Amino acid sequence: MSSLRGQVAIAGAADTAVGIVPGWSPTELCVEAALSALADAGLDKGEVDGLITCNAMAEPIMYHAEAVAEYMQIFPRYCMSVNTGGGTTFSALHHAASAIVTGMADTILISMADSLRSSMTRQQAMIAQSATGHPQFEQPYGPTVPAYYALIAMAHMAEYGTTPEQFAEVAVSCRAHAARNPTAQMREPISVDDVLASRMIADPLHLLDCSLVSDGGSAVIVTSAERARDLPQPPVYLLGVGEGHSHEHISQAASLTTSAARESGQLAYAMAGLGPSDMDFAQLYDCFTPTVLVELEDLGFCDKGEGGAYLQTGVTKPGGSLPVNTHGGMLSHCHPGNPGAMFALTESVWQLRRTAGERQVPGAETALVHAQGGIMSSHTTIILGRECD
Amino acid sequence: MDKILPRPGDLSAPYWEACREGELKLQRCSGCNSYQFYPRRFCTGCGGRELEWVVASGNGSVASYSVVRRAISDAYTAPYLIALVDLDEGPRMMSNIIDVDVEAVSIGCKVAVDFVAWSQDVTMPVFRVLEGETAL
């Protein structure tokens, strides 16, 4: 079986304005991101022959990718809407890479956007997102998305002695990164005490343990490594990718405290021929603070059960040995729903091009980005690098 | 706004009918005797298609829980308790734990099923912490 390692690269990347962006529909944000990413890559829209989008909760469209293509007046030969929740972003990149290597398309635009903040009420957004629960055997009991993740947090606390203070370190770390990012929705530094003093949403998760509700769009251009080298931007190569899918409903998870990030990470590391210690930074899925802690463990950055102590060393903060969520993550940069992890991908591209300004990780060569969807259900790990050899 | 009500299908109808009669039923495989939840057309253990509905003990322990402080919608009154319950027969299910001081709930504590009518047609299985029980 041929490996995807080093065969494709990200040649363009762009975000729209994020946070509270009234007056822009999800489709408009999606197209705006797409056009900006094309401009970044130095490509004309007519050169796009593959398109991947994800559906928008605020504007569901049955043939979403086709609708975006029509709006842009592009006519791809590969066109797909994906939906694996927050893991969508990187499974889409996995598909795009495979499509390029197998000749289904040469230049694939991945663009995603939603408008949860400005185009839906809070209650609509909450209900839409909690629809991940089983309609007969979970949803009627009234679990919110924070409550689903709280079940994981409580189990981790009981099994490993993890504390709310340790979960809070994730929020503090993300905010410290966001303070260095002029595009982030929330930039005022916070402390562990601030997190613990914020309103309880679903025990043990406080308001500041929960990601933002945002508007925004983000896009990347994926093409062959060979072609990317002829384009204006330094290519960011795909070195490894792996997926793991363990369940959909949290009540069916084989483990509450160990996730399929373990499998997705092992596959990605094996393809890249790299390990956790080779990563200069990591972007981990932070819909709620406990997910980062569990991912740090399952992706091998620390031992199982040691995530809390690892976070308390400050390693994930700016200047630490493993900066995590250098843009501020979904806890502080923005979180427009399913596209949330796209912003971790575009940020990784800028970090590896070394154009991330004040928040640049010095000498960044290699990065791990990870996203999951559902309730720690559907995981994809990506390893990116400046060099493909 | 109303609470989110389950809409039984042909397969799950016996489960919801049993709830209305105050019994928690689980599917048990005639081939390998394993229990499963949620109901399916085949046994996830052995692949068998001979599944029977049997009345469960209704006893279990708390695998995890959370107190929802911000309700999912106006139809739900916070705070309320969401739990994953490991039934004595093996399967895990989500439910509410009702009529309890949240301080009295912990992972591992023993619970027993009870039933609450949510509408004319729907009765939900919920759980209560057993008196005098403490966490393992």
pLDDT at position B133: 54
* pLDDT, tens digit (0-9, with 9 covering 90-100), for B73-87: 999 999 999 999 999
Distance from C-alpha of A36 to C-alpha of A218, rounded to nearest angstrom: 9
B27 band by pLDDT with thresholds 50, 70 and 90: very high
Q: Which residue has the higher pLDDT, B1 or B106?
A: B106
pLDDT at position B77: 95
- pLDDT of residue B135 exceeding 50: no
Tell me the count of A-B CB pairs closer than 8 A: 109
Interface probe, candidates A120, A121, A134, A136, chain B, greatest B C-beta count within 10 A: A136
- Per CB-CB distance under 8 Å, the chain B contacts of A124 are none
Supply the ipTM of this predicted assembly.
0.96
B136 band by pLDDT with thresholds 50, 70 and 90: very low
- pLDDT of residue A389 exceeding 80: no
- pLDDT of residue A1 exceeding 60: no
Query: pTM of this prediction?
Result: 0.96
* pLDDT, tens digit (0-9, with 9 covering 90-100), for B43-100: 999 999 999 999 999 999 999 999 999 999 999 999 999 999 999 999 999 999 999 9
Segment A374-387 mean pLDDT = 96
Segment A166-181 mean pLDDT = 98
- Any A CB within 8 A of B108 CB: yes
* pLDDT, tens digit (0-9, with 9 covering 90-100), for B6-26: 999 999 999 999 999 999 999
Q: What is the dihedral of CA A266, A267, A271, A276, to 10 degrees?
A: -30
Interface probe, candidates B19, B94, B121, chain A, greatest A C-beta count within 10 A: B94
- Any A CB within 8 A of B27 CB: no
Ranges of beta strands (E only) in chain B are: 25-29, 35-36, 51-55, 59-68, 80-87, 92-97, 110-117, 123-129
Give how far A200 is from chain B: nearest CA, Å. Answer: 6
Q: What is the mean pLDDT of chain A?
A: 96
By the 8 A CB rule, do A82 and A98 touch? no
Segment A26-34 mean pLDDT = 98
Burial class (CB in 10 A: 0-12, 13-18, 19+), A382: buried
Report the sign of the C-alpha dihedral through residues A121, A123, A129, A132, in that order.
negative
Report the sign of the C-alpha dihedral through residues A303, A305, A310, A311, in that order.
positive
pLDDT at position A48: 98
Which of B67, B93, B122 has its CB closest to that of A203?
A: B67
Which residues does residue B31 pair with via DSSP β-bridges, in sequence order?
A: none
- pLDDT of residue B102 exceeding 80: yes
- pLDDT of residue A190 exceeding 90: yes
Segment A227-239 mean pLDDT = 98
Burial class (CB in 10 A: 0-12, 13-18, 19+), B17: middle
Segment A329-342 mean pLDDT = 95
Q: What is the dihedral of CA B128, B36, B15, B78, to 10 degrees?
A: 40
